[in-house]
Amino acid sequence: MNNKHNFNEVISKYLQNLMCNTEKRYGKESSEYKALYYQYVKTDAELMEMREHNDKHYEAIVDCEQKGLRYIERLYKRQATIDLTTACSAHCRYCLRQNYESISLNQEDENAIMEYLAKDEYLKEILITGGDPLLVVDKLIHVMERIINEAPNIRIIRIGTRVPVQNPEQLDKKLLEFFNNNNKKVFFEIALQINHKIELQSETQRCIRELQRVGVCIYAQNVLLKNVNSSMETLIELYDALRYEHIETHYLFHPVPISRTAQFRMPLDEFLNFARLLTSSGEIPGRSKPMFSLMTDIGKCTLYEGTLRKTNVKEYVDVKTAYRLEERLKWNPQYKLPASARIADDGTLIVRYMDGI
Ligand code: SF4
């Protein structure tokens, strides 16, 4: 049965107003307006198209044969990911999550997850994501409370959200109170995707400061998108603005290769050129430099010299990683290498990745 959730166009009222005001202030051709428009407004063709695939970028489901253990993924030794919901305040057109199935985490799932987390000697961090976990605050608080009480090996709880930029009013006081009361027990971190300076409006800034005030560390995990932020001027402005908000810089991703997103994906040569220009030109301080990275079928890879290798198929490159299958099997014995990956002579993994056009 196809249980995939509905990924129609959804744009929060807040974003609709922001788009409207941005158009009036800067015009339709401005980088500010386009940055918002292209992230959210779908083309007619996109709206018409039926979603037939379920092409997650990786298959890292933990012990999926064990009854009751669902919605947890494990690609990394120290960290697991819990999917809490598929709901978001707005649907980003390039988001991988459009291919995920609907989520309905029940008591049994929770029990199985807590047991799994508590007994794993390697696990130190949990990423709670979705969808947007800040849309299901009661459930989020409940799950975090259980992690704190039942899995003391977990030192850091990270949450992926776009509520501060998509619907800042939705930030719930209960959640702030929870962070405030528990920030001595674990570290709380929020991964916030901000792709253009226009997204840092005063409402968003307020929301960020409230989270920081209760001890939450906020870091930026952005995407380099054609037509949205693909100019040096835009990126310099963005990373300056993030620094002034005390938001830590983290990844700047190449968009994940999924259907209907080619218009966002620049060729990797161009992506690397942005990496060179942004990080080795003196235009932004070292403290603001993002890690230019790919989300491959076997995990995230930051680009270094020799990471990308030509293949005999024009549209694809090979990504040389330092991941090792035997290492991964120690903490996720059910892990299966995807068809796109292979083991190199030195025992590390190489994975095929679709280039942009
Ligand atoms: S808010 Fe996050 S999970 Fe939701 S569509 Fe956008 S990127 Fe995807």
DSSP string for 78-104: SEEEEE--S--SS--TT-GGGGSBP--
- Evaluate whether 139 touches 147 at the Cβ level (below 8 Å): no
Q: Identify the band that residue 4 occupies on the pLDDT scale cut at 50, 70 and 90.
A: low
What are all long-range contacts of 238-244, with beta carbons under 8 Å and residues at least 24 apart? 238/194, 238/195, 238/196, 238/197, 239/278, 239/284, 239/288, 239/289, 239/290, 240/284, 240/288, 241/197, 241/200, 242/194, 242/200, 242/288, 243/285, 243/287, 243/288
Q: What is the pLDDT of residues 221-262, one digit of tens each?
A: 999 999 999 999 999 999 999 999 999 999 999 999 988 889
Cross-strand partners of 187? 156
Q: What is the rounded CA–CA span in Å between residue 212 and residue 196?
A: 21
Among 93-107, 135-149, 194-208, 327-341, name the one with the lowest average pLDDT: 93-107
> Which one of 97, 100, 101 would you pick to mutate in the ligand 1 pocket, going by the greatest count of ligand atoms within 8 A of its CB?
97
126 has pLDDT over 70: yes
Does residue 179 form part of some domain? yes
Does residue 3 form part of some domain? no
Q: What is the rounded CA–CA span in Å between residue 200 and residue 241?
A: 8
Provide mean pLDDT across the span 38-50.
Answer: 81
Q: What is the rounded CA–CA span in Å between residue 63 and residue 68?
A: 10
Does residue 177 form part of some domain? yes
Among 43-47, 118-122, 352-356, name the one with the lowest average pLDDT: 43-47
Looking at residue 334, what is its pLDDT? 87
Q: For residue 154, give the CATH number of its domain.
A: 3.20.20.70
Pairing of strands 248-253, 216-223: parallel
What length does the chain have? 357
Minimal-distance CA residue to ligand 1 atom 6: 92
Radius of gyration of the chain (CA): 20
Q: What is the rounded CA–CA span in Å between residue 293 and residue 58?
A: 16
Q: What is the pLDDT of residues 311-325, one digit of tens each?
A: 999 899 999 999 999
Looking at residue 259, what is its pLDDT? 81
Does residue 348 form part of some domain? no
* Ligand 1 pocket list (CB less than 6 A): 88, 91-92, 95, 97, 130-132, 162, 193
Which ligand 1 atom sits closest to the C-alpha of 162? Answer: 1
Q: What is the pLDDT of residues 67-91, one digit of tens each?
A: 457 889 999 999 999 999 999 999 9
| Total of domains in the chain | 1
Which ligand 1 atom sits closest to the C-alpha of 130? Answer: 3
Which backbone phi and psi does 234 adopt, to 5 degrees?
A: -65, -40
Contacts for 156 with CB less than 8 Å, ≥ 6 apart: 124, 125, 126, 186, 187, 188, 189
Question: In the chain, which residue ranges form alpha helices assigned H by DSSP?
Answer: 13-26, 31-40, 44-48, 107-119, 137-150, 163-166, 173-182, 202-213, 232-244, 268-279, 325-331
Which ligand 1 atom sits closest to the C-alpha of 160? Answer: 2
Look up residue 49 and give its DSSP letter.
-
How wide is the angle at C-alpha 10 spanned by C-alphas 73 and 21, nearest 5°?
125
Looking at residue 43, what is its pLDDT? 86
Q: Identify the band that residue 64 occupies on the pLDDT scale cut at 50, 70 and 90.
A: very low
Most distant pair of Cα atoms in the chain: their distance: 58
Rounded to the nearest whole angstrom, what is the distance from the C-alpha of residue 116 to the centroid of ligand 1?
27
Cα-Cα-Cα-Cα dihedral sign, residues 208, 211, 215, 221: negative
Pairing of strands 308-310, 316-324: antiparallel
62, 66, 191: which is closest to 120 by C-alpha? 62
Rounded to the nearest whole angstrom, what is the distance from the C-alpha of residue 92 to the centroid of ligand 1?
5
Rounded to the nearest whole angstrom, what is the distance from the C-alpha of residue 132 to the centroid of ligand 1?
7
220 Cα distance to chain centroid: 10
Provide mean pLDDT across the span 12-23.
Answer: 98
- Burial of 306 by CB count in 10 Å (0-12 exposed, 13-18 middle, 19+ buried)? exposed
Does residue 215 form part of some domain? yes
Residue 50 belongs to what domain range? 13-291
Rounded to the nearest whole angstrom, what is the distance from the C-alpha of residue 102 to the centroid of ligand 1?
14
Minimal-distance CA residue to ligand 1 atom 3: 131
Does residue 308 form part of some domain? no
Q: Identify the band that residue 59 occupies on the pLDDT scale cut at 50, 70 and 90.
A: low
Contacts for 65 with CB less than 8 Å, ≥ 6 apart: 334
Neighbours of 16 (CB within 10 A): 13
Rounded to the nearest whole angstrom, what is the distance from the C-alpha of residue 13 to the centroid of ligand 1?
16
Looking at residue 163, what is its pLDDT? 98
Q: Which two tokens stand for residue 157?
A: 């709880």
Q: What is the pLDDT of residues 274-310, one digit of tens each?
A: 999 999 999 999 999 999 999 999 999 999 988 999 9
Q: What is the rounded CA–CA span in Å between residue 86 and residue 131?
A: 4
Does residue 93 form part of some domain? yes
The predicted model scores a pTM of: 0.92
- Evaluate whether 217 touches 189 at the Cβ level (below 8 Å): yes
Look up residue 135 and give its DSSP letter.
G
148 has pLDDT over 90: yes
Which ligand 1 atom sits closest to the C-alpha of 88? Answer: 4
Rounded to the nearest whole angstrom, what is the distance from the C-alpha of residue 128 to the centroid of ligand 1?
13
Minimal-distance CA residue to ligand 1 atom 8: 95
5 has pLDDT over 50: yes
Does residue 197 form part of some domain? yes
Rounded to the nearest whole angstrom, what is the distance from the C-alpha of residue 333 to the centroid of ligand 1?
30
Q: Given its phi and psi angles, is residue 306 left (phi above 0), alpha (psi -120 to 50 degrees) or beta?
A: left
